[in-house]
Amino acid sequence: MDMETQNSIHVENLNVYAGKHQILKDINIDIPKNKITVILGPSGCGKTTLLKCMNRLTDLYPELKVTGKVMIEDKNVLEAGEDIVKLRQHMGLLSQRPYPLPMTIYNNIAYALRLRGVKKRRDMNKQVVHYLQMASLWDEVKNRLREPASHLSIGQQQRLCLARGLAVNPEIILADEPTSALDPISSQYIEEKFQQLKDEYTIVLVTHVLRQAARIADYVIFMYLGEVIEQGTVKEVLENPKMERTKLYLKGAFN
Amino acid sequence: MTGKKIEETVFKVLMVIATYFILAILAIIIYTIFAKGVKALSWEMLTSVPQGGYYYGKGGGILNAILGSLSLAFGATLLAFLLGLPVALYINVFLVRRKKIVIVIRFILDLIWGIPSIVYGAFGFSMMIFLGIQTSLLAGMITVTLFILPIMIRSMDEILRTVPVGLTEASYALGSNKSETAFRIFTRQTVSGIITAILLSFGRGIGDAASVLFTAGYTDHLPNSLMEPVATLPLSIFFQLSSPVPAVQDRAYASALVLTLLILLVSLFSRGLGKRYHKTKINF
């Protein structure tokens, strides 16, 4: 990474334990601003846990013990206490499968806007349209805004979740294998969207799909069994890996 | 037949027998209530209060008990809902990291669920003496509230447990705090289940005799104040059934029929209400 690059997230000596089992071991990484950083690795290597440490969703899992530092905007997420609620609004989340809120399509976006403090009806309407357009969903739902979000297809639901995540006006998008439940066309949609969004957002994408990483990553962090094995640009990690384990994974995935 | 097929057949037969056995018993109860009750049921019975000598076969009706039971059960269910929903949400949203405390709370609730209603009645009665309140609608309502609270809380608790963790994560990731997650997301996702919990509690509350025996009292008048005694259907059934006159015993069955139909009506109404919200639920 060159010195010019600004970092958006800085992770230092992060360790996560589940009882006696250590899920993440001494993670030290920097996520550069306005780039797509892909966290790559086989299933069960701790990618998702690492992502959840960034917005402290680890709080929901009583068995997890987290130590270290996750710095966002000069604040340590892990020690933010109740300020985490505000800090989370700096990060939009897209999960493995879409979880629309149990309300109408319109209200899914409006809920996020209200959390951000939008109150006036007219602003609300305008912004709902804006964010649905941003996620390329508007044309498909403009006549059914009052329908429950559950009526949408999975691909549409994932774009709704993207729109909802953008509506809280984050700087960072955390995506946890966001295309794994989607059909190829919807997946492509999301990938293209990420390419467009990276000018304004910092994107952290977790995936085990090597080809996806190769397609859209600027930076790659390769993880194996809870450790970061290698990190760098796509060229460095995917084309000229230095570590034996990275080479093996790349080879295995291609064969 | 192979061993596996025999096993499959044996268990299927067992399940079928168990299911239809239970259904048959319920059918017999309902048939008895219907058969004996319908002939005694009359318009007068539904629309008037007991006249002098009602319990010995003279004219009148059970309107006092119908209205008494309805006001008592609605009041108690409302109170139990207002007290119970926050408890169930607290357990499921605020205490997720305190597993041991949650286990203890659930254990205690399950335990007090099993306490017989007469104990609640006695407890309510001693509270009334302590506070200097007479048998009244209010005292009955509070006692029934205590009696149905564990049912209300635990059935809402069980339904709130089904909220997928992914939905909770989605809510927090947007920057909702815990109470927003509880009241705006959890309740919406589980509306139909919450209505079932309310119904279950209402059914228990309106059908119970022992908890209201000492606390709500009994009267032949219509309920007109929170501080005066009220009649209830279960007690009305009990008094009519204890009468030596066969015609009055038949009226007891008619009253049981009224109680059954009331519960049925309330069920159908709230199921319809639940359906309206059911469609926004996210199915996972």
Q: Residue A241: pLDDT above 70?
A: yes
pLDDT single digits (tens) B98-155? 889 999 999 999 999 999 999 999 999 999 999 988 899 999 999 999 999 999 999 9
What's the topology of domain A7-254? Rossmann fold (3.40.50)
CA distance B172 to A112: 11
Q: Which residue has the tokens 């649905």?
A: A132
Nearest neighbour of A57 by CB, restricted to B172, B175, B280: B172
Using N-to-C axis directions, what is the helix angle for A154-167 and A121-134, rounded to 10°? Answer: 130
Exposed/middle/buried for A251, CB within 10 Å: 0-12, 13-18, 19+?
A: exposed
Q: Which residue has the tokens 């006549």?
A: A143
CA distance A193 to A210: 19
What's the topology of domain B46-278? MetI-like fold (1.10.3720)
Q: Residue A198: pLDDT above 70?
A: yes
The domain limits of chain A are 7-254
State the pTM of this model: 0.86
Q: Which residue of A has its CA nearest to B188?
A: A102
Chain B residues touching A94 at Cβ < 8 A:
none
CA distance B235 to B192: 32
The domain limits of chain B are 3-40, 46-278
Q: Is A112–B174 a contact, with Cβ atoms under 8 angstroms apart? A: yes
The ipTM (two decimal places) reads 0.90
Q: One digit per residue, pLDDT tens: chain B, 284 residues?
A: 688 889 999 999 999 999 999 999 999 999 999 998 898 888 988 888 888 888 888 888 899 999 999 999 999 999 999 999 999 999 999 998 888 999 999 999 999 999 999 999 999 999 999 998 889 999 999 999 999 999 999 999 999 999 999 999 999 999 999 999 999 999 999 998 999 899 999 999 999 989 998 999 888 888 888 889 999 999 999 999 998 988 889 999 999 999 999 999 988 888 887 777 766 676 66
Selection from A117, A116, A138 nearest residue A128 by Cα: A138
Nearest neighbour of A85 by CB, restricted to B167, B177, B185: B177
Q: Is A55–B173 a contact, with Cβ atoms under 8 angstroms apart? A: yes
Question: What average pLDDT does the structure give for chain A?
Answer: 88
Tell me which amino acid residue B167 is.
L
What's the Cα-to-Cα distance from B143 to each of B1, B156, B174, rounded to whole Å?
58, 20, 42
CB A201 within 8 A of CB A34: yes
Q: Is A111–B177 a contact, with Cβ atoms under 8 angstroms apart? A: no
Q: Which residue has the tokens 């990190």?
A: A231
CB B75 within 8 A of CB B141: yes
Tell me which amino acid residue A83 is.
D
